[in-house]
A and B are shown apart, each in its own frame.
Chain A
Amino acid sequence: MISHRVIIVGGGLAGLRAALELRMRGVDVAVVSKVHPIRSHSCMAQGGINAALGNHPDGADDTPEKHAYDTVKGADFLADQDAVETLTGAGVEAVIEMEHWGCPFTRFDDGRIAQRPFGGAGFPRTCYGADKTGLYMLQTLYEQCVKWDITFYEEFLVLSLIVREGRCFGVVAYEVATGEIHGMSARAVVFATGGAGRLYSRTSNSLISTGFGTTMAYLAGAALKDMEFFQFHPTTLLGINLTITEGLRGEGAYILNDEGERFMARYVSESVMERAPRDITARAIQTEIDEGRGIGGGEFVYLDARHLGADWLNERYPGVVEACREFRKIDPAKEPIPVQPGAHYTMGGIDVNADCETGIEGFYAAGECACVSVHGANRLGGNSLLEAIVFGRRAGLSVARYLEGRDGAADGGRGSPAALEDGVGGIEERLERMSAGSGEENPAGLRKEMNRIMDNHVGIFRTEERLKLAVGGLREIEQRYARLRPIYGGKAFNYDLIWAFELSGTITLAGIVAAGALARAESRGSHCRKDHPGRDDLGWLNHTIAHPGADPGEDGPKLSYRPVTVTKWQPEERTY
């Protein structure tokens, strides 16, 4: 049995930041990650991180409060305003800390961190390192973790969160290199397991962004919040669906339809145009495509950056230039970039408060897998990296407080070995059942069908009729999952088993997203119901809370609602 004071599950930005906070306070902490930490999805974030540094001349009088207002409005007023102020209030300190740790931000001539305009922001507020901000931040945090000699369990996939009588005792993990099952006991567990883009086939997310961690928490008794809010990034590269950063349109690229029209003028004011928030821009693009004005009538439009010039693009967007060359064989200085909306960010997640507490004693969550909520119904670009490090740190602080007075061996065991042994036994049994399966369903086939349902029925535009089809279809897929073909039984690097196991969580999560979307009879932020086109603040200024139904295998989630916290800003019409 492996034992640590604290176990962090996930080696992306939120997980590493949480681990650092605890380690710097002398706590015995270990990070468990299914991939080497620098392979985490955080590395794909491109455009930047928001903080009211006021370094840009146009934003010299920027404040955390202005940043908070933009975030609340961007969220279509579903974010909890106190939590948003916690986020934006910590922004400057968080970015400066990353800089002090060596993060190679791009600079202004005076040597200060550069800032660029992003969608939905009143000022150029987004700090960046070229178009590789996530990569630089992840590497910087990993460097700090190595400096502090933090313990890593690399390529350990956590399969189960152990909770008994409302208390968390640790996790059960699968060692990818050996196939061994480990009970890992801990006084506190922090989930930083990332998002769930892989619910959809058209997604900007890594293959590892399965949402499995979120479902694991749900099945262990944690509530999920606002799962129906899924962000579609408006401009993902046709084919691979890699994001073409919002920074590019923030800094002047045009979005064009088949007629060569800058059609954003018909959706937002002329002063905003391509700088509209993601939900609005994605809907505009999808509308053009649906009405036959995609390029050549196809399912994409153009992001045109030609007028920005080769030198400028190479200097500021080398990653975009490279992606266009490698994946589409085009030069964005000479040809427009073919783009389409793609599933990008999971606004919903494990229900936590601003201290990352879940309601289960000793269990915390931070980053994309969690929902505080600071993003509400639509996250602003540049706020996810900020959330990851601000709430990663807060999770660490919160755990440190929890551990105070719980030191010493006296209650160190907390009866965890028995609970963990049960957990290990349960997983071993399930893995044996999977390799002895007698069904005929191929997991990849089920995943593709699930993706098709999510793409077609739970996408940018939703209706009751389609969502009902989705709920029914997903339930059927969940039942068919019980009839999988025999899964490969090898011990070392058995990715057939890993992908099949995680798929169960992804399917369950898809059902929760669809159920929440079906229930929410309004349109707000990323959730657009064609049959309920308006926002309904009287009926729906509420967070959706999902718990497992009485029989998790048969029933869908049990939904309830909790009012949004409004402090300074009464909901107003959201126009740009």
Chain B
Amino acid sequence: MTKFHIFRFDPKADAAPRFQDYEVPEAKGMTVLDGLIHILEELDPSLAYRSSCRAAICGSCAMHISGRYRLACQTQIGDVARQDQVVIRPLSHLPVLRDLVVDMGRFFENWRRIRPHLVAEGPAPERERLQTPKERARLDSLVDCIMCGACYGACPSARDNAAYLGPHALLKALRFIEDSRDGADEERLALAASDDGAFGCHSVFNCQIVCPKELDPAAAISRIKRRALGSRLKPKLARHAKA
């Protein structure tokens, strides 16, 4: 048996959050999500958490599990239980709607601000826009973000500044900036490199540590900073050279 020590809160009914304990029978390879399903189905029908694919690709079940933001479906109980206990809390920096369910509104709103779609250059050709494997390789990992919010929950800049775009949105911004087919780099750089963008990042690297897909938003953010500085400095350097 493993004890699940779970954050419970109904903001409409409860004065304050509390933790509740459940005893979950553990089988080899059982995931934290399996444990939550067991609780909902057999022990407490009032427990609220999100889930969908249960295979670490839909991004529904990011939460704080035994000291770190993780996907419940990707985390085996045996790997995170300490003294036969797993402690589970919702994602931070987003309002709790119920137990482990948070309001992802701001998270997606921030993503919308980076103009998250391809802005292609020129009229569409009859066939595909050509992109070499080398150009496509620049998008590797950048296109693999599943928008689970683990990085956002772990990010102190997101905690301190609600307007901060967040590691997820900045990673996505770079995804389009790096895309050889996209023609809106300057516009995106201007936004992504603002104080609420890349320069709002304090380089704590939590996002890099927690990403369940092993992506590196911190590296993406430094890249945006470099690109932005480069494009700001270039005209000045050119003037220098002329002078």
Contact = CB atoms under 8 A, between A and B. Distances in A.
Interface in A23-70: 35-36, 38-41, 43-44
Given A102-B117, A129-B143, A38 B127 contact: no
A79 to B, nearest CB: 28
A44 B133 contact: no
A39 B58 CA distance: 5
B52 A102 contact: no
A493 B58 CA distance: 19
Contact of A242 (B50, B55, B139, B144): B55
A491 B48 CA distance: 11
A492 B133 contact: no
A100 B122 CA distance: 11
B181 A495 contact: no
Contacts of A146: 112, 116-117
B168 to A, nearest CB: 12
B59 A39 contact: yes
A44 B101 CA distance: 22
A106 B59 contact: no
Given A43-B53, A146-B116, A493 B41 contact: no
B93 interface: no
A102 B74 contact: no
B10 interface: yes
Given A102-B117, A106-B136, A107-B131, A43 B42 contact: no
A96 B129 CA distance: 9
B163 interface: no
Interface in B75-127: 97-99, 101, 104, 108, 112, 116-118, 120, 124, 126-127
Contacts of A297: none
A542 interface: no
Contacts of A395: none
- Size category of the binding interface on chain B: 35 or more
Interface string A90-113: 000000100111101111111111
A112 B118 CA distance: 18
Contacts of A96: 126-128
Interface in B49-81: 49-60, 74
B240 interface: no
B179 to A, nearest CB: 7
Given A111-B132, A113-B128, A41 B52 contact: yes
Contacts of B124: 100
B154 to A, nearest CB: 19
B46 to A, nearest CB: 5
B12 interface: yes
Given A104-B139, A488-B46, A109 B58 contact: no
Interface string A472-505: 0000000000000001101111111001000000
A107 B132 contact: yes
- Which of A140, A444, A488, A492 lies at the interface centre, i.e. has the most chain B CB atoms within 10 A of its CB? A492
A143 B53 contact: no
Contact of B97 (A105, A177, A323, A496): A177
A323 B71 CA distance: 13
Contacts of B214: 322
B133 A109 contact: yes
Nearest to A41: B53
Contacts of A442: 41-42
A299 B146 CA distance: 32
B46 A496 contact: yes
A343 interface: no
A105 B133 CA distance: 10
B29 interface: yes
A363 interface: no
Given A38-B147, A107-B133, A102 B181 contact: yes
A499 B47 CA distance: 13
A36 B107 CA distance: 13
B56 A326 contact: yes
B97 A102 contact: no
A568 interface: no
- Size category of the binding interface on chain A: 35 or more
A108 B176 CA distance: 21
Nearest to A139: B143
A319 B57 CA distance: 9
A185 B41 CA distance: 34
A135 B47 CA distance: 29
A444 B45 CA distance: 11
Which DSSP category, helix, strand, loop or mixed, fits chain B's interface? Answer: loop
Given A207-B52, A444-B42, A493-B97, A107 B136 contact: yes
A239 B68 CA distance: 25
A132 interface: yes
Nearest to B144: A132
A99 B117 contact: no
B187 to A, nearest CB: 14
A308 interface: no
Interface in A496-521: 496, 499
A66 B98 CA distance: 53
Contacts of A140: 118
B59 A110 contact: no
B60 A136 contact: no
A496 B108 CA distance: 27
Contacts of A40: 52, 58
A418 interface: no
A401 interface: no
B117 A496 contact: no
A571 to B, nearest CB: 35
A223 interface: no
Contact of A493 (B60, B99, B117): B99
A151 interface: no
Contacts of B40: 495-496, 499
A520 to B, nearest CB: 32
A429 B183 CA distance: 55
A436 interface: no
- Which of A111, A147, A208, A487 lies at the interface centre, i.e. has the most chain B CB atoms within 10 A of its CB? A111
Given A147-B117, A492-B98, A38 B143 contact: no
B97 A99 contact: no
A353 interface: no
A112 B128 contact: yes
Interface string B146-163: 110000000000000000
The 8 closest A-B pairs by CB, nearest first: A102-B118, A111-B130, A496-B45, A444-B41, A493-B48, A488-B45, A143-B117, A493-B98
Interface of A: 35-36, 38-41, 43-44, 96, 99-102, 104-113, 129, 132, 135-136, 139-140, 143-144, 146-147, 177, 206-208, 239-240, 242, 318-319, 322-323, 326-327, 442-444, 487-488, 490-496, 499
26 contacts: A36-B104, A38-B58, A38-B146, A39-B53, A39-B59, A40-B52, A99-B128, A100-B128, A101-B118, A104-B139, A104-B179, A106-B133, A108-B133, A112-B130, A132-B143, A135-B57, A135-B146, A140-B118, A143-B116, A146-B117, A147-B117, A207-B52, A239-B29, A326-B56, A492-B12, A493-B99
Given A107-B132, A206-B52, A493-B98, 9 more contacts: A36-B108, A41-B52, A100-B118, A101-B117, A104-B143, A105-B136, A106-B133, A140-B118, A327-B55
Interface of B: 10, 12, 29, 40-42, 45-60, 74, 97-99, 101, 104, 108, 112, 116-118, 120, 124, 126-133, 135-136, 139, 143-144, 146-147, 176, 179, 181-182, 213-214
